[in-house]
Homo-oligomer: A and B are copies of this chain.
Amino acid sequence: MDNNPAMIPKPTLKLLRSLQQKKFRDQHGLFVVEGEKMVLELIDAGERMETKILIATAEWLKEHGNSFGTGIRVIESSMHDISKGSHLVTPQPVLALVKIPDEKDPSPVQGSGMALGFEAIRDPGNLGTVIRTADWFGIGEIVCSKDSVDQYNPKVVQATMGSLFRVRVRYVDLKQQLESWSGLGKPVYGTFLEGENIYEIPIEQSPLVLFGNESKGLSSELTPYVRRKITVPSFGSSKAESLNLASSVAVICAEIRRRGSMPLIQSGN
């Protein structure tokens, strides 16, 4: 506990606020996790996620005891002070500063398991939702091109609802990654508005499914690595231009998992 129980020390507040920006997250190797649900998931996540500082109100700390493990600096603070450092519209009584995991092991992906790839995904809500969707459908691997939004952006973290602690997201040279995957024989599907109806074609298990930027789609640079172009069909005379990216990811993941679980119905695949 700090000496003054109702205040966040000024340097800590300054640090906390700075972590809204990627530059400072990179510099300090830290990101922010806010809210009770998220912090409890964080504590559950175990070793991969190392909490450095936990800031909470006296009430919150009283209710949740001191079961935060050793090595965590706990700062008791008023809601007023938490609000000053919070990235949320409606601040909550607890937040944590967490070490960005040092993924030393970008092990050459085995080609086993289903994976998702994103080129220039830009909307933080989309990336966060996609990480949550991957978690729901048991997909442990996401790769993003380097110009994608950062997974530790506060809006991304919030939208994952804790799934960020379970799904590995790597920022890679997508072209190089695709070359290596193609070499390993991993089937690569790419989503295009003019792609084939996913319900009318066979889809191999354990594919990589590639999604393009929210407004531009997949670039011609990556197209040569796509084995098959797919799409989620619209219905009737819909005038909608496209589905939201995260919604499209959910539909495609659900369909691939449905087929995997129901080989008798889709015996042709």
Residues of chain A having any CB pair with chain B under 8 Å: 125, 129, 132-133, 135-139, 159, 161-163, 166, 199, 232-244, 246-251, 254-255, 257-258, 260-262, 265
Question: With a CB–CB cut-off of 8 A, which chain B residues contact A159?
Answer: 244
- B246 near A244 with CB under 8 A, answer yes
What are 16 A-B pairs at a CB distance below 8 A?
A125-B125, A129-B247, A132-B244, A132-B247, A136-B235, A161-B240, A161-B242, A162-B241, A166-B239, A199-B258, A233-B257, A235-B257, A250-B250, A250-B251, A251-B254, A254-B254
Question: With a CB–CB cut-off of 8 A, which chain B residues contact A235?
Answer: 136-139, 257, 260-261
**A231 CB, nearest partner CB in chain B, Å:** 11
From B137, B250, B261, contact of A199 by CB (8 A): B261
In the complex the two chains form, what is the Cα distance from A243 to B246 in whole Å?
A: 11
Question: With a CB–CB cut-off of 8 A, which chain B residues contact A232?
Answer: 136, 254
CB nearest neighbor in B for A249: B247
- A234 near B138 with CB under 8 A, answer yes
**A235 CB, nearest partner CB in chain B, Å:** 4
**A82 CB, nearest partner CB in chain B, Å:** 20
CB nearest neighbor in B for A135: B240
- B238 near A138 with CB under 8 A, answer yes
- B138 near A243 with CB under 8 A, answer no
Apart from A162-B241, A246-B246, A251-B254, what 20 extra A-B contacts exist at CB < 8 Å? A125-B125, A135-B238, A135-B239, A136-B243, A138-B235, A138-B236, A139-B235, A159-B244, A161-B244, A162-B240, A166-B239, A199-B262, A232-B254, A235-B261, A244-B246, A246-B247, A247-B250, A250-B250, A255-B258, A265-B265
CB nearest neighbor in B for A163: B240
In the complex the two chains form, what is the Cα distance from A239 to B138 in whole Å?
A: 9
In the complex the two chains form, what is the Cα distance from A244 to B241 in whole Å?
A: 22
Question: With a CB–CB cut-off of 8 A, which chain B residues contact A199?
Answer: 258, 261-262
- B136 near A238 with CB under 8 A, answer yes
Question: With a CB–CB cut-off of 8 A, which chain B residues contact A162?
Answer: 240-241
From B139, B166, B243, B258, contact of A132 by CB (8 A): B243
